[in-house]
Amino acid sequence: MSHAIEITQTLPLPDTAILPGLTFRTFAGESDYANILAVINGMKRADGSERSDTLEVITTNYQHLLNCDPHQDMLFVELDGQVEAYGRAWWMQEESGLRRYVYLLFTKPAARHDALAHAMADWFEARLRQIAAQHAAGKDAQLEVFADDHETWLTGIWQARGFQPVRYGFGMRRDLSQPILDVPCPPGIDVRPITADLLRACWDASQDAFRDHWGYVPPTEDQYQGWLKNVKDEYPLWKVGWAGDQIAGQVQNFVNKEENEEYSRQRGYTEGISTRRPWRKQGLARYLLTESMKMFREMGMTETALGVDAQNPNGALQLYESVGYVVERKGVTYRKAIIGN
């Protein structure tokens, strides 16, 4: 196995005297995927977050990580032999020149102890500084974390560690019982079904469209292969607009059946919304989005949902609000300098 990152010295694990029965360990392999799922499920119930993960999706995602070796960049917390928390670190190089060193903490209620969270955070920040020391020096390097508005305890941890909010994202929902606008298709655009042989073209077009978005990181071929596994049952629902043989814009719709069953609802997701530069400001995204909403209503869905960068420079938030989406939750990206602190 080739590692994206090689280290010369393993960091010592944090002090286990914080709580009785506490132990720290690193990643044990595929057997930990079930532990990851259990922690996520326990965390969402405590925070009132809505998500439905499966072991299959977690396995696929962890087999296609970017700049992360789980055996060196993950930390697990056990209380009396039961995994109650874990975290993961990785880094990303933006086209803008900014290098981001990111870590996440996932904790069930039993592990929500401030000293424990700070011990984990200390370990991850030391690990990321170790990685950063192997990279070319530059002033554009930041530590990055995230929390949504349900995760008040975690938000307090980030603030105590000197992180500052730098970007906001919204989760939005649209009630399909409300009227849907009839939007004309822009001239010269043809919307036709997607087949498996066109998935690479869809991927390439979406990457081209997102290159000028905040935080864009060029993807790897391995990420593409992981994406293929995740969308294998979704692409028949996509709305893709073509200008001749070029993809002008698309909405990569999907239905999360497990989530709908868990939360007793009928929701379709209108995600992966993108328009390439030559076809912007012509109403294409608006048309594809409203056509997606109509499709979901015909399928028996009662609502649609999406996520948006609140400061998207192309007016995405205003577009979604104009067709009836309303904000339901907020997420915050926090950063601080990787040197010092």
Range of the domain at 268: 171-331
Average pLDDT over residues 15-26: 94
Number of structural domains, the chain?
A: 2
Any idea what the CATH number is for the domain that residue 80 is in? 3.40.630.30
Answer whether 168's CB lies under 8 Å from 186's CB. no
Residue where a domain stops, chosen among 131, 162, 193: 162
Give domain status of residue 7, yes or no: no
Give domain status of residue 257, yes or no: yes
pLDDT in tens, 214-263: 899 999 999 999 999 999 999 999 999 999 999 999 999 999 999 999 99
Same structural domain for residues 20 and 86?
yes
pLDDT surpassing 80 at residue 137: no
CA distance 96 to 335: 16
pLDDT of residue 111: 94
pLDDT in tens, 73-84: 999 999 999 999
Same structural domain for residues 30 and 103?
yes
pLDDT in tens, 144-179: 999 999 899 999 999 999 999 999 999 999 999 999
pLDDT in tens, 25-59: 999 999 999 999 999 999 988 888 888 999 999 99
Facing residues of 83 across strands? 78
CA distances from 234 to 242, 246, 252, 254, 296 (A): 19, 21, 8, 5, 13
Kindly write down the DSSP assignment for every residue of 159-227, as one continuous string: HHTT-EEEEEEEEEEEETTS-----PPPTT-EE----GGGHHHHHHHHHHHHTTSTT--PPPHHHHHHH
H-assigned helices in the chain: 32-47, 55-62, 70-73, 114-132, 152-160, 199-210, 221-230, 257-262, 284-298, 316-322
Q: What phi and psi, each to the nearest 5 degrees, are found at residue 60?
A: -60, -45
CA distance 230 to 217: 19
Same structural domain for residues 188 and 322?
yes
Average pLDDT over residues 329-341: 87
Same structural domain for residues 111 and 228?
no
Same structural domain for residues 319 and 210?
yes
pLDDT of residue 47: 87
Cα angle 126-127-129, degrees, rounded to a multiple of 5: 65
pLDDT surpassing 80 at residue 4: no
pLDDT in tens, 96-127: 889 999 999 999 999 999 999 999 999 999 99
Same structural domain for residues 175 and 137?
no
Residue where a domain stops, chosen among 138, 162, 186: 162
Cα angle 179-183-186, degrees, rounded to a multiple of 5: 165
Closest Cα partner for 165 from 52, 331, 21? 331
Structure tokens at 49: 């977050």
Q: Which residue has the higher pLDDT, 30 or 138?
A: 30
pLDDT of residue 15: 92
Give domain status of residue 11, yes or no: no
Alpha-carbon radius of gyration of the chain:
21
Closest Cα partner for 128 from 36, 218, 29, 11? 11
**Residue 139 identity:** K
Same structural domain for residues 134 and 46?
yes
Give domain status of residue 4, yes or no: no
Same structural domain for residues 225 and 143?
no
Q: What is the average pLDDT score of the chain? A: 93
Same structural domain for residues 48 and 190?
no
Residue where a domain stops, chosen among 162, 192, 218: 162
pLDDT of residue 30: 95
pLDDT surpassing 80 at residue 138: no
Same structural domain for residues 212 and 305?
yes
Q: Is the dihedral of CA 209, 212, 214, 219 positive or negative?
A: positive
Give domain status of residue 146, yes or no: yes
